Amino acid sequence: SSSARAASASATAASARAELEYLRASTRRGLLPEEGKRCFAAVADARASAAAAAAATAGKAATEKATRATREKLRRVTEAKTRAERARDALSTELDALRAATPELRKLSEREDGDGGSRRKTVLGAAKLVAAAKRAAERAREAAAALRDAESRADAATIELEAFKA
């Protein structure tokens, strides 16, 4: 992964810096032959610079990849939140309509009709409507829970994105 490569490049850069510092200290103490001092130091310096540049590039690539992934996650969470809001609104409207219609149907079912079969159909219709209202209420609760979950995930993704930007 990019973060593993960045960590590896960072460790290599730190190792090269330590090697360079060791060579410089050895040169100051006179432990290296005079003609090799500059050569060893130049090679070590070049290695340290290359490793540091590689670590910086890998770190930048890892950060960009993480930022893209977090943005994509935030986009998906936002879409889920939007779908949940639409479902909640639709179910809430359906539930309100069913609740408003129920008293009228109850009055119809209590009315004396000459035909008992008609009254049974009316009562059955009212019972079905009450059951549908209960199902709609449950779906509205589920949609509200899904919306809360989507909002929580969106908040977490936003915090994650801000952390990556920092």
33 contacts 82 by C-beta, under 8 angstroms:
no
* Intervals of the chain under pLDDT 70: 1-3, 27, 30-41, 43-44, 93-128, 166
Round to whole Å and give the CA distance between 37 and 26: 9
- Per-residue pLDDT, 100: 60
Mean pLDDT of the chain: 74
Which residue type does 63 have?
Answer: T
Round to whole Å and give the CA distance between 118 and 4: 75
- Per-residue pLDDT, 143: 85
